[in-house]
Amino acid sequence: MYRSLFSRDLFAELARLQSEMGQPIDDTPAIRGIGGMGRSGYPALNVTDTPTSIEIVAFAPGLDPAKIDVQIDRGVLTIDGERQNDQPAPSAKTSWHVAERFHGRFRRVVSVPDDIDRQAVTASYRDGLLHLSLPRRESAQPRRVAVQ
Amino acid sequence: MNTMTPVDKGATAPNPARAEAALLPLVDVIEDADGIVLIADLPGVAKEQLSLRVLDDQLHIEGDLALPLPAGAQGSRNEVRRSHYRRAFTLSKELDANQVSAELAHGVLRVRIPKAAHAQPRRITVQLS
C-alpha cells in the first residue's frame, strides 16, 4: 500500500543520508549558502577515520566556544549551537549588497561507531574550526600479534 | 548604489600559480553613510595565512586553510575538499582604498573601507536671504 514515512531502521537511514552527503554531488569548489554548501548545512563537516580515532572537523566560523554543545548518544554525535548575528545594526542609512553568511541556530548529526571511548573525546576550537577527536577504545584497536 | 561588486570567481587570479579552483568564502557586504563593511567567513585561516590586497580597484581576499588532519587516515567524508580560499571584489571610485582596515577573529574577517571624503553625503544648508 503506502510506504511508511518513517524508515524502520532510523540509523540505517541516517547512514544512507550521510553517505549520500559524502558523495561528490557536484564538485563545486565553493562554500556556498543555501543551494550549494547549504546541502550539507552549517557547519560543513570533514570526517576522517583512522585506526585509532575518528577525527571530525566542523567549519564553524564566528562562534563563541562556550556556546557549542557537543553530545554523543548511542552512536550519534550531535553538534548544536547558535551563531549570533555579527552584522552592524541596521539603520535607515544601511543597505545590504550581499548577504550570504549564515546566522541562527544550527544542528548537525554524525553517526559514529560503537567503539568510541566517550570519556576520552576531546574538542578544541581555533580559527573558526571545531576539531573533535574521538579515540577508539583500546580493545577495539587493531593489534599486531607477535609470532613466537 | 553599487559600491562593491563581487568579481566572478577565478576571473582575476592575481597570481597565475594560484589559478586552480579555490573555495569561495561566503560574505556579507553592508553599506552605510561612511563606507562599506565586508564580513567574510574564512574558517581555518590563521592571521599569517591571510592575504588582503587592493589591486587596480579590486579587493583580493586569499587565505590558506590549515587542516588538523591526523596521519594514517583510512577513509574520510569531506564536505570541504580544498584548502585555499579566494574571492575578489570590485571597489567603486567613491571608496578610499588607502584607508582599508581589517580584523580577523574566529575565522571571520571584517574589512572596513570608508568612502572618500568627496563621496560622503553632505547636507547643504539653505540660506535665507
CB A99 within 8 A of CB A34: no
Of B41, B71, B78, the CB nearest to A61: B41
Is a pLDDT exceeding 70 seen at residue B1?
A: no
pLDDT of residue A50: 87
Residues of A with Cβ-Cβ distance to B41 under 8 angstroms: 31, 61-62, 101, 128
B76 touches chain A (CB under 8 A): yes
> Are the beta carbons of A22 and B70 separated by less than 8 Å?
no
B25 touches chain A (CB under 8 A): yes
A72 touches chain B (CB under 8 A): no
What is the architecture, at CATH level 2, of domain A10-85+96-140? Sandwich (2.60)
> Are the beta carbons of A60 and B43 separated by less than 8 Å?
yes
A14 touches chain B (CB under 8 A): no
Strands A129-135, A122-126: parallel, antiparallel or unpaired by DSSP?
antiparallel
Residues of B with Cβ-Cβ distance to A77 under 8 angstroms: none
pLDDT in tens, A44-53: 999 998 888 8
Is a pLDDT exceeding 70 seen at residue A131?
A: yes
User: In chain B, which among 79-98 make CB contacts under 8 A with chain A?
Assistant: 79-82
pLDDT of residue B93: 86
Summarize the confidence of residues A119-142 as an average pLDDT: 89
Q: Tell me chain A's radius of gyration from C-alpha atoms.
A: 19
pTM, rounded to two decimals? 0.74
- B57-93 residues labelled b (16+ CB within 10 A) or e (exposed): ebbbbbbbbebeeeeeeeebbbbbebebbbbbbebbe
Summarize the confidence of residues A2-23 as an average pLDDT: 57
C-beta contacts of B6-15 below 8 A and 24+ residues apart: B6/A98, B6/B87, B6/B88, B6/B89, B6/B90, B7/B58, B7/B87, B7/B88, B7/B89, B7/B90, B9/A29, B9/A30, B9/B86, B9/B87, B10/B86, B11/B88, B12/B58, B12/B60, B12/B88, B13/B86, B14/B53, B14/B55, B14/B60
Best-predicted range by mean pLDDT (A33-42, A65-74, A136-145): A65-74
Residues of A with Cβ-Cβ distance to B110 under 8 angstroms: 86
pLDDT in tens, B11-48: 444 554 445 678 899 999 999 888 999 999 999 999 99
The fold of the B4-117 domain, in CATH, is Immunoglobulin-like (2.60.40)
The residue extents of the domains of chain B are 4-117
> Are the beta carbons of A87 and B28 separated by less than 8 Å?
yes
pLDDT in tens, B75-127: 778 888 888 999 999 998 889 888 899 999 999 999 999 988 777 777 778 88
Of B2, B3, B37, the CB nearest to A88: B37
